[in-house]
Chain A
């Protein structure tokens, strides 16, 4: 093989989005596919995640939406016969899969070369024991540690070295199952979960370096041994908080040149020893009181940090790593940013980058929000500024957590003790607690002692806190100008100082158009051609000259991105933004993307004509539109975040392109939407809006329980609940966020029917509806959390036609000019509208892939005034395909302690997998495997624990499992019922009955599947909750809806011993009437 050019490469994706493995691997995968094709390779791609850009049919020569299981990938290898495989761009999933394929002999059998970093090096970096030995052999210091595979050895190591100890399981991502143990009890618990989480049941116990600085170096090495540091990054939070949960700054700010170079030299030493060919991330701990350092971790692959480093510097690590993996050398690869220098150099920055994680605790108020060595954030924002404070403020605004400055939040109401507690036991609110302490006059030194945060950062924050306090007292020109210079948005300055925005701008202190600076990898040493910008203040603008030069290319349009990945607003919206930018560019417009998510494809400067790396907030979007002299802003692709800007942008005279502001308001305003439906004679579950909880109770009495309650203008069903009686409604009122006049509470009758979902595009005359999704779980489980099947399996053709007709009527009456997503319930053969979202949805990428209907591109062109008939798209509802696809949601419960896992109307999933097959059962099985729900092995154990109201419904399910020869276990109530109906099961004691009880059974991995239908009144104290958490912690699949279980049964019954057949996306979809946009 050596010397022969690689012709065909299999690229492994990272699968569904989970905490610790998110959009960054779509970004990496897309870059890799492009780089490999640039080098003339045929690319075969496999990824089970349908929401990604990388799984677009034209990203690779063959795209497989198949589970990332060794068996499925082996089948792909057998069919495609690639020469080589690239696994280092697919995250931990990719690496683990590569190891599995090597171990089962697949790679040897088919002569597949593993590109890039050799397997031996991957093992060396990933196996805690080998890694420790390797570091010691080259004299690089590692923390005192021991590798253990059982709890007892771990406890005796602790007796030797003392507490606290860090538990790091081998071969896991985002620190799953790990944590900090402060005492014997914590250690025993964390060891047990860590050993279970590791695929080789091995954890590393290491002495804690709590209070040391944490640094990361992103290194690249090629086969000729040339190494470069692309970027170093400094965590504001000290060692002890996972870097994914830390505020991170690039480049390092508090390291002297000697510190910087000492760690740089160590990083090169390590990457050379590991013989990495490609990208590598090295994490260091640095003692703030001496020159001492330790190697914490090495990741021999591209990672979340490398995505951040790429966006922070402009240096496309994944693209270069892919070329290096093919054997190209850094000195021969052109730096795409300058177009004149080479990839063998180290970027110089002339700005400061700040990353802030985005945590899901707004959706999981009862979850354990303490930050530690296990990552809990779902996404992150990045901000670029000429100073740290500037970047920090931008990052805070960009998190979409209702904050635009450091002070003035709920922390003002906290006691000193509460603040101290969060400073020393950090949560997601530590930044704001710290700011509040500063506001109260606490000294930098005392805060530094409590937090172990370097005083440098605290001093920087103190300057901002002082400005905020000054603004509240004094609205004179000097404080206003000072605040602007520090990086506060006009809107924030106006609000804090109590001056009208117009007055601030008229005075010349505020500015509707910011000057922009370029990200060029070279600190202006070389002219750059990458159109990558960030906003500055009071400095020379570099964007407008560029815009003028391009004026002849036509008008610009700004596509507003979706910000950080969070539950309810994930990578799907980035997909739509990327496609919108491409469509605008193809239509001859200048596509301008504004977004602040460093993980995503949309913030790759290759994707748009102009990338403005700024938070998608109102001032920033306004400035982007004005600075690029754009025709307006497209808000309907980035999810709810941009939609929420519509009113204010409209008020400031910015055109909302596509579906206009009035139409958006009509769809979002409950009263207006209701009266529209009434007029159209379209049913919806009876309901009304309430401005108080008392009113909500009246409405519920009137329309009858059960009711669905939720605040309006929400994302992913935040604060949504099904309430069965008045007592539950009262409990909801206690826990829900207060009702705001601009966001009243919606109270709807709850109908337990079949939910269906439609994505369509409408141009004012014609509609295109490529397909209809049917949800597997009944209404009541959030659409993002339910499995969905395309085409529908239980909807009559007449009803499908009615759905299409109602959708078209809605589009016409709402005034849609672009995308719409409508959710319906079919209940007792009647169609009810649940909601209409005048924007892209979570299912848009899936339906685009399954039907080849370019919905986003069509919507973008409609925004430019084109028509569907002009585009040559087949209109109306498209015909059904000859295959079946099932979307299966994926959760990250293992990462989130104390989070309720039972599904409900509030969305909890972080990602999804797609299964495609010729039959429903086959598609279900692939979808489930892709989502990590492995079918129980033959004869395996299944635990049933069913609440009373569903026990009868569970009987046929239990019988079916018995027929499939599974052994059943049941909790006492369920057991009695099964016994009564002659179904054999083993009785398992409740927790209150004492050990061995149900949780012991789960922990001992005596069962392969848990079916736990929760009663709606479950509390965190209940057995049900503890059963569900135990299953999560033991890594046992736990299904909480009987509808899901029925679907699993269909899959199991359809399972055959035949060889796995795999087909590419084009094999499935290509035969259909492929829609092409006429130019």
Chain B
């Protein structure tokens, strides 16, 4: 079998040639890197990666095959996967096939046999950047031009979120309490964890308005993770502002949800140089001084200095001091930047979801 030539081209002009998977053509997107050593399937299906080219820092990906039960979304969300080597002989009792086969069947262009560490070093030094992943000789030739053209295009967050958010409402689990989950591209892990904690979850589309939300009869409200720049989701921010101001619906946010809540409370967000994406980010809890190891996937962050009076910072990233959590002093609102539901990653912070559900039950 002759290997299918492929290339990845970065906006800084560097390019790396490797072996391709998936249909001939070019996938464009922001190149970001994920440092988790396991959990490739959960990562590829994490809606927060919608439209991004996902670079795996771990070089051997696919060793334990694929298993639909761990997926965070119905399909692969990343626009492409970049890795040193995909395993073609996976071994795990839960595996139903190989990762490269699944990527190929899903039509997700991917590339292997590239120096991922060299790519990551560039993203670290220059910040995340646009990239083109080209499969096939003809596409390789066109990729630099396609990349230049795409660099002009601004990120369209509402479109990204719309692509991964559900279209209609879905009721899950038993309850009470009843928790409304605003799906801005929610990982399945969030509603799984809410259900496991005993909540009845009602998943609703991201553009659900305040009246409809309040009419769900929910005891609690969770704002999910999702892709893109939070500041571009003005409609959602407006909805949150109204719901929060009422002070009657306890609200919890995760990742993008955290950023949206911060914006609704009047704080600012900004883009990180190269984001946090992995399973090993240490988060210091301000009130106890303890440290949790948490799962992350975000390119934007909340500017802690911009938090208004009445809102306190509850957690901080130990590596770079960025904001990891907030709480309103009087209103029942709190949120975290990381992923307490893990999937993939460590479960140190899972108790936050359990505690939220428990607090609703005791109200």
Contacts and interface: CB of A to CB of B under 8 A. Distances in A.
A612 B41 CA distance: 34
- Residue in B37, B124, B319 whose Cβ sees the most chain A Cβ within 10 Å: B37
A540 B293 contact: no
A331 B121 contact: no
B102 interface: no
Given A261-B342, A350-B59, A386-B59, A523 B120 contact: yes
Interface stretch (A63-71, A186-194, A452-460, A1034-1042): A452-460
Contacts of A341: 318-319
Interface string A340-381: 111011111111100000000000000000000000000000
Interface string B55-82: 0011110011001001000000000000
A812 interface: no
B20 interface: no
A254 B35 contact: no
Contacts of B318: 331, 341-342, 344-345
- Residue in A252, A330, A540 whose Cβ sees the most chain B Cβ within 10 Å: A540
23 contacts: A224-B290, A252-B38, A256-B64, A264-B346, A265-B346, A268-B348, A289-B93, A331-B282, A331-B284, A331-B291, A344-B282, A344-B293, A345-B281, A346-B293, A347-B280, A348-B35, A352-B59, A523-B35, A523-B120, A524-B124, A525-B124, A539-B117, A540-B118
Interface string B306-339: 0000000000001100000000000000000000
A329 B288 CA distance: 13
A255 interface: yes
B116 interface: yes
A340 B279 CA distance: 19
Given A254-B64, A341-B319, A348 B278 contact: yes
Contacts of B346: 229, 261, 264-265, 346
Contacts of A254: 63-64, 91-92
A256 B282 CA distance: 22
A1015 interface: no
B39 interface: yes
Contact of B67 (A256, A261, A525, A539): A256
A623 B347 CA distance: 44
Contact of B57 (A226, A350, A388, A459): A350
A526 interface: yes
B57 A524 contact: yes
Contacts of B37: 251, 260, 348-349
A143 B265 CA distance: 53
Contacts of B291: 226, 330-331, 344
B85 interface: yes
B36 interface: yes
Contacts of B87: 456
B42 interface: yes
A456 B90 contact: yes
A387 interface: yes
Interface string B16-41: 00000000000000000101111101
Contact of B63 (A268, A340, A456, A517): A456
B263 to A, nearest CB: 27
Nearest to B342: A261
Contacts of A265: 346-347
Interface string A246-258: 0000011111111
Contact of A386 (B41, B84, B284, B343): B84
A228 interface: yes
Contacts of A345: 280-282, 293, 318-319
A517 B116 CA distance: 12
A225 B57 contact: no
A342 B93 contact: no
B13 interface: no
Interface of A: 224-226, 228-229, 251-261, 264-265, 268, 288-290, 329-331, 340-342, 344-352, 386-388, 444, 454-456, 459-460, 517, 522-527, 538-540
B63 A331 contact: no
B344 interface: yes
A529 to B, nearest CB: 14
Given A224-B290, A265-B347, A387-B60, A348 B36 contact: yes
B215 interface: no
A387 B84 contact: yes
Contacts of A259: 38, 64
- Pairs of residues from A and B, 8 with the lowest C-beta to C-beta distance, nearest first: A257-B39, A456-B91, A523-B57, A459-B89, A257-B344, A346-B280, A257-B38, A540-B118
- Residue in B41, B284, B290 whose Cβ sees the most chain A Cβ within 10 Å: B290
Given A258-B70, A331-B318, A253 B63 contact: yes
Contacts of A226: 290-291
B89 A455 contact: yes
B120 A525 contact: yes
A290 B93 contact: yes
Contacts of B92: 254, 256
B117 A525 contact: no
A43 B299 CA distance: 47
B6 to A, nearest CB: 16
Contacts of B38: 252, 255-257, 259-260
B343 to A, nearest CB: 8
Contacts of B344: 257, 261
A348 B63 contact: no
B115 interface: yes
B271 interface: no
A228 B294 CA distance: 11
B19 to A, nearest CB: 11
A426 to B, nearest CB: 20
B345 interface: yes
A524 B59 CA distance: 12
A254 B37 CA distance: 11
A256 B37 CA distance: 10
Given A256-B70, A386-B84, A539-B115, A351 B59 contact: yes
B282 A342 contact: yes
Interface in B263-307: 278-282, 284, 289-291, 293
Interface string B108-130: 00000001111011001000000
Given A265-B347, A349-B58, A540 B117 contact: yes
A256 B94 contact: yes
B92 to A, nearest CB: 6
Contacts of B41: 257
Contacts of B39: 257
Contacts of B90: 456
A534 to B, nearest CB: 12
A252 B37 CA distance: 9
- Residue in B39, B57, B90 whose Cβ sees the most chain A Cβ within 10 Å: B57
Contacts of B42: 257
Nearest to B85: A387
A386 B112 CA distance: 13
A255 B284 contact: no
B72 to A, nearest CB: 11
A289 B94 CA distance: 9
A349 B35 CA distance: 8
Given A252-B38, A253-B63, A525-B278, 5 more contacts: A257-B344, A344-B293, A346-B279, A348-B279, A456-B90
A229 B347 CA distance: 13
Contact of B117 (A224, A350, A387, A444): A350
Contacts of A228: 282, 293
A257 B70 contact: yes
Nearest to A539: B115
A228 B38 CA distance: 17
A344 B289 CA distance: 12
A258 B59 CA distance: 19
B93 A525 contact: no
Nearest to A390: B59
Contacts of A290: 93
A524 B60 contact: no
A721 B94 CA distance: 57
